[in-house]
Amino acid sequence: MKNTNDLILAPDAIEKMRIAGKLASDVLVMLDAHVKEGVTTEALNQLAHDYIVNEQGAIPAPLNYGQPPFPKSVCTSVNHVVCHGIPTDNKVLKDGDIINIDVTVIKDGYYGDTSKMWIIGEGSIMAQRICDIAQKALYAGMSTVKNGSYLGDIGAAIQDVVEPERFSIVREFCGHGISNTFHHEPQVMHYGKKGTGMQLKTGMTFTIEPMINQGTWKTKVLPDQWTAITKDRKLSAQWEHTLMVTDHGCEVFTKRDEEDLSFLIA
């Protein structure tokens, strides 16, 4: 448990978050060439694991995390899987699938947590729309963040993007404070009311990671106790960044070079 002042990172901790965030984003960039029709989610897990451990000298945070211990080094969530999908040898990506890969690395005791969507092949119009809107939802949430803004502003901005598209926002999982532990306060809801909730302060670090569903927002967890799927088995998409509140905006620790975040103020 952290009190509000403990949520504001010291300069040395901020520098470690920058490094961890960059490593996490580098894993997604590395995976890009391998996320193709015919690959198994376990092969992607193995590539990510070896890269994190051997190339980055870092630790894959999901491995053995929680209870029961998560058995793999990344989460791979395909189609109607909302989050926390477990890589396996028998899940082969096929044309038209959508997949989220969620990477969290620990470097020098600090965490970087990020995820993105891929479409295998061209994908349906619906697959393209849900992936696109989920990224726009993340960006809308990020664009509200600055010293003095409210947690509720993030959720409200996400709702303003998602609801006109008649998609729904998952309620059971949220973003989270992150620094020298994986998940700490605050909980970052992906829905909410402007001007409500905790007031953000420069130096706070957390994730935003909206999960957007084609149909109902309701989810259920499979008997493996990790894999969360949509109740109606319609599609779900998610993008995630780790960021820090700054005086006039935010710094995105997990930014990839391919991303244009010029709409943000540092």
Binding to Co ion (CB under 5 A) within 223-252 occurs at 240
Binding mask 137-176 for ligand MF3 (x = CB under 6 A): ----------------------------------------
By CB under 6 A, the count of residues binding ligand MF3 is 13
**What is the gyration radius of the CA atoms in the chain, in angstroms?**
17
Gap between the Cα atoms of 245 and 73, Å rounded: 28
| Residue 4: closest CA among 168, 151, 161, 174 | 151
Residues 6+ apart with CB under 8 A from 101: 28, 31, 35, 44, 48, 74, 75, 76, 77, 115, 116, 118
75 binds ligand MF3 (CB under 6 A): yes
Residues 6+ apart with CB under 8 A from 6: none
CB closer to ligand MF3 out of 84 and 107: 84
112 binds ligand MF3 (CB under 6 A): no
Binding mask 204-223 for ligand MF3 (x = CB under 6 A): ---x-x--------------
Q: Which does 251 bind (CB under 5 to 8 A by kind): ligand MF3, Co ion, none?
A: none
CB of 48 to ligand MF3, least distance (A): 12
CB closer to ligand MF3 out of 1 and 125: 1
Of 16, 49, 80, 84, the residue at the interface with ligand MF3 (CB under 6 A) is: 84
187 binds ligand MF3 (CB under 6 A): no
Tokens of 13: 């901790």
Of 97, 102, 153, 251, the residue at the interface with Co ion (CB under 5 A) is: 102
Q: How many residues does the chain have?
A: 266
Q: Which does 84 bind (CB under 5 to 8 A by kind): ligand MF3, Co ion, none?
A: ligand MF3
Strands 211-213 and 205-208 come out as unpaired
73 binds Co ion (CB under 5 A): no
CA angle 78, 133, 229 (to 5 degrees): 30
142 binds Co ion (CB under 5 A): no
CA 259 from centroid of its chain's CA atoms: 15
113 binds ligand MF3 (CB under 6 A): yes
CB closer to Co ion out of 26 and 240: 240
CB count in 10 Å sphere of residue 121:
12
Of 41, 100, 104, 230, the residue at the interface with ligand MF3 (CB under 6 A) is: 104
Gap between the Cα atoms of 117 and 134, Å rounded: 9
Three-state secondary structure call for residue 33:
helix
* Amino acid at residue number 40: T
Asked if residue 87 has a cis previous peptide bond (ω within 30° of 0), the answer is no
CA-CA distances (angstroms) from residue 59 to 3, 102, 152, 199? 27, 14, 33, 32
113 binds Co ion (CB under 5 A): yes
97 binds Co ion (CB under 5 A): no
Q: Residue numbers of the site for Co ion (CB under 5 A)?
A: 102, 113, 207, 240
Residues lying near ligand MF3 in the complex (CB under 6 A): 62, 65-66, 70, 75, 84, 102, 104, 113, 207, 209, 226, 240
